[in-house]
């Protein structure tokens, strides 16, 4: 199979690209930045005709859309997370292409959920940030296209942690602060550690994408991809402290993320994903954090 991975050199896109290539797939990466072996494609600014032309040239059997933005002003987020998917969907129609589309969504689409109840795909979506709102809009566009006949599924990804986690992510920020404290022989400065999250390894996300590309008919328009476990952020910090051997002071007096604090608890219900894809997460938090730390040390 030939698969086009849009955003294939980003964090999740890179893991997905390597996973599919390791299985012998013909993987074509596409992205905004020109680089050897990468098709230039910017869904947020390219015209539909340009995208359709690229799709005809690549002639993929499947498309994975990892492109998007997690930070920026509302206009930038809308361009990446709403205009981008809309352009891709129109491009697929114009190209007359019939590949399966796997689009990466986000747990931020749910917003605040009931504490103690794992969130199912049918739960109300009440995003509390511009990021979550724009990701939800992208998901709804994919669902509308699916209703008109497109073979598509949205994988709603929860908080990723593992090798290469970006500094903008919660685990990446914590690991980076630990690395700084160790280098300077100083204290670790963190924000509040009260929130509870579902952390999933990016390699498990890549396995879920692989499964979504190879399984037969997909009855679910949206599937959760998480670990199915609620982890207090404080426990994640304690695990990283044990891995790094850091014995200095840990102070929780830095400013926290308003977006994070607005959603105190989240855990994915992954029962539907297990059934639909025959998938389950295989890496535990200790493994994910250990491999994250190796990429920083």
Provide the phi-psi class of 98: left if phi over 0, else alpha when psi is between -120 and 50, else beta: alpha
Tokens of 99: 């590949």
Kindly tell me the burial class for residue 184, based on how many C-beta atoms sit within 10 Å of its own C-beta (0-12, 13-18, 19 or more): exposed
Work out whether strand 100-106 and strand 152-157 pair parallel, antiparallel, or are unpaired. Answer: parallel
Contact 138, 127 (CB under 8 A): no
Contact 188, 248 (CB under 8 A): yes
DSSP label at residue 149: T
Q: What residues form DSSP beta bridges with 100?
A: 62
Catalytic entry in 11, 25, 110, 131: 131
d(CA 124, CA 265): 15
Tokens of 215: 């399984």
The answer to whether 131 is a known catalytic residue is yes
- Residues marked as catalytic: 131
């Amino acid at each position: 199979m030939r698969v086009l991975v849009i955003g294939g050199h980003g964090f999740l896109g890179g893991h997905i690209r390597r996973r599919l290539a390791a299985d012998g797939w013909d993987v074509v990466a596409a992205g905004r930045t020109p680089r050897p072996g990468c098709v230039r494609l910017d869904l947020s600014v390219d015209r539909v005709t340009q995208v359709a032309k690229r799709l005809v040239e690549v002639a993929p059997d499947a498309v994975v859309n990892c492109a998007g933005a997690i930070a920026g002003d509302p206009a930038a987020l809308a361009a990446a997370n709403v205009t981008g998917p809309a352009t891709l969907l129109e491009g697929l129609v114009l190209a007359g292409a019939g590949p399966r589309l796997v689009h990466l969504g986000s747990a931020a689409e749910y917003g605040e959920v009931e504490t103690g109840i794992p969130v199912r795909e049918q739960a109300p979506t009440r995003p509390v940030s511009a990021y979550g709102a724009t990701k939800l809009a992208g998901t709804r566009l994919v669902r509308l296209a699916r209703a008109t006949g497109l073979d598509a599924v949205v994988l709603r990804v929860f908080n990723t942690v593992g090798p290469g986690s970006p500094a903008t992510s919660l685990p990446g920020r914590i690991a980076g602060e630990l690395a700084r404290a160790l280098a300077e022989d100083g204290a670790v400065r963190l924000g509040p550690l009260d929130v509870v999250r579902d952390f999933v390894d990016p390699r498990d996300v890549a396995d879920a994408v692989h499964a979504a590309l190879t399984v037969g008919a997909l009855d679910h328009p949206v599937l959760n991809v998480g670990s199915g476990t609620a982890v207090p952020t404080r426990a994640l910090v304690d695990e990283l402290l044990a891995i790094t051997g850091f014995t200095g002071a840990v102070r929780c007096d830095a400013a926290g993320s308003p977006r994070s604090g607005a959603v105190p608890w989240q855990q994915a219900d992954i029962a539907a994903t297990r059934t639909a894809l025959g998938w389950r997460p295989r890496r535990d938090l200790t493994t994910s954090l250990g491999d994250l730390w190796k990429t920083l040390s």
